[in-house]
Chain A
């Protein structure tokens, strides 16, 4: 094809429990900061996609495309939201990528947002169950953390993964988030604290889980030809791939492997003409720390069963061979569900432009983001390059 899609601007709202802001405020903040970052004019934007999982249940508001365009004063351009559970953000990016590749639009804004703190904890947990198979898992008492605990317990039995391994992911990601001004948790946590934090769904503890977060992230994407109009440092999408799996976790032969991740990461490398060792920085979906361990195995950083071992070796630390979640990941940056997939891309763009300050991976040229929906029923992978 030869054509590529460029990312020419990125922006984020603060991530956290934002009591003084509603959904439209945080979405606007992310969108406006992406526009200012890119020097694009509002009148040059052709269309908007928004990643969001459950604004209807979390806030009572749907029809987010119209809301965003209206609040941003963008006139009458087409806009709509895209839903793929926790992979909604990645899906919005992929949707814009496809729209630009097809020639339908030239300049697009991508947003991702979720406002989760306006409901109580019980309602939030109920709403998160929509990402799994509600009728056959959630209804029978399997909370979302319980489903990841299913994977963790099995991984511990089959591969010797330990509580310490599960905890090391949280320690690493919190340490990274300390240098991310947008992150929800900007303080390091010691291993003992993670290992002794309250039980959520044994063997998972509270600090093995991503938090409830309000937040939004935004991108300006355009055709390769037009990128120079808006920035001197465009970052390109080398590939955008997606794969799926069964909705319910109990329908998978091996619950320690995410087949959708294996397929979509392999095809994204192939499409980009790269090998895993060519990637300098990774954003992997760590909604629960066992998720990061499984993902490092399924994308090929670690052999199956050795996701814990590479943590001991420090391979996924910021200065390791395969830096994973320099942003702090979902664990510590926070996980506003629909915003996460977009925020992963924001981090990679900052890394590739050399704008990641204290968490900068030296000379990063290629980055990979893996965004998961549910317990692995959707996997969306983007590879970026400069």
Chain B
């Protein structure tokens, strides 16, 4: 038996630390999170790992005011769908700016942050969040 969350997070570290998804060589589509099967090509699909550049723009967003305990300390926070330059869309938080500054179409880049904690004794989950590209924060994405 694993401690709560340890194996669950560990097995997808590549994806949540480095935004590693995959790319179907048959239809030239990028996927994040990585898909086990290309839904367009299925058995004809050829999937290869691909590390996204971490650049994109905000497709839509919400300012979360009521959240479960695991996120309560961060309220209010901005969570968004980010359309990555390669075409895939993902969901993540927007940081290093006021919620009022966030708008659809804003250019963002990935940064590495603490995401949440699994309770008092659980593990701390790290991974991607996104920040406006024009801000210098001293913590560039590796």
Chain A residues in the interface with B (C-beta under 8 A): 121-123, 125-126, 129, 135-137, 139-143, 145-147, 149-151, 153-154, 157, 198-204, 248-251, 255
Least Cβ–Cβ distance between B61 and chain A, in angstroms: 7
Interchain pairs with CB closer than 8 A, number? 98
Give 13 pairs: A residue, B residue, CB < 8 Å, sorted on A.
A122-B68, A129-B68, A135-B12, A137-B91, A141-B77, A141-B116, A142-B91, A143-B64, A146-B79, A150-B60, A200-B65, A200-B66, A250-B89
Q: Are A154 and B59 CB-contacts (below 8 A) given A140-B91, A141-B64, A141-B67?
A: yes
Chain B residues in the interface with A (C-beta under 8 A): 12, 33, 59-72, 74, 77, 79-81, 89-93, 99, 104, 115-116, 125, 127
Q: Across the interface, which residues of A come within 8 angstroms of B127, CB to CB? A: 140
Least Cβ–Cβ distance between A220 and chain B, in angstroms: 38
Q: Is the CB of B68 within 8 A of A199?
A: no
Least Cβ–Cβ distance between B113 and chain A, in angstroms: 11
Q: Is the CB of B60 within 8 A of A122?
A: no
Q: With A and B bound together, what is the CA distance between A175 and B90 in angstroms?
A: 38
Q: Across the interface, which residues of B come within 8 angstroms of A157, CB to CB? A: 60, 104
Q: With A and B bound together, what is the CA distance between A338 and B53 in angstroms?
A: 41
Q: Across the interface, which residues of B come within 8 angstroms of A146, CB to CB? A: 62, 64, 79
Q: Across the interface, which residues of A come within 8 angstroms of B66, CB to CB? A: 121, 125, 143, 145, 200-201
Q: Across the interface, which residues of A come within 8 angstroms of B33, CB to CB? A: 135-136
Q: Across the interface, which residues of B come within 8 angstroms of A248, CB to CB? A: 91
Q: Is the CB of A140 within 8 A of B92?
A: yes
Q: Is the CB of B64 within 8 A of A153?
A: no
Q: Is the CB of B91 within 8 A of A201?
A: no
Partner of B65, one of A153, A154, A199: A199
Determine which residue in A136, A157, A203, A248 has the highest number of CB atoms from chain B within 10 A of its CB, and name it: A136
Q: Across the interface, which residues of B come within 8 angstroms of A121, CB to CB? A: 66
**Residue of B at shortest CB range from A154?**
B60
Q: Are A122 and B90 CB-contacts (below 8 A) given A141-B77, A150-B62?
A: no
Q: Across the interface, which residues of A come within 8 angstroms of B65, CB to CB? A: 198-202
Q: Is the CB of A123 within 8 A of B68?
A: yes
Q: Is the CB of B90 within 8 A of A202?
A: no
Q: With A and B bound together, what is the CA distance between A262 and B118 in angstroms?
A: 39
Q: Is the CB of B115 within 8 A of A139?
A: yes
Q: Across the interface, which residues of A come within 8 angstroms of B80, CB to CB? A: 150
Least Cβ–Cβ distance between B23 and chain A, in angstroms: 16
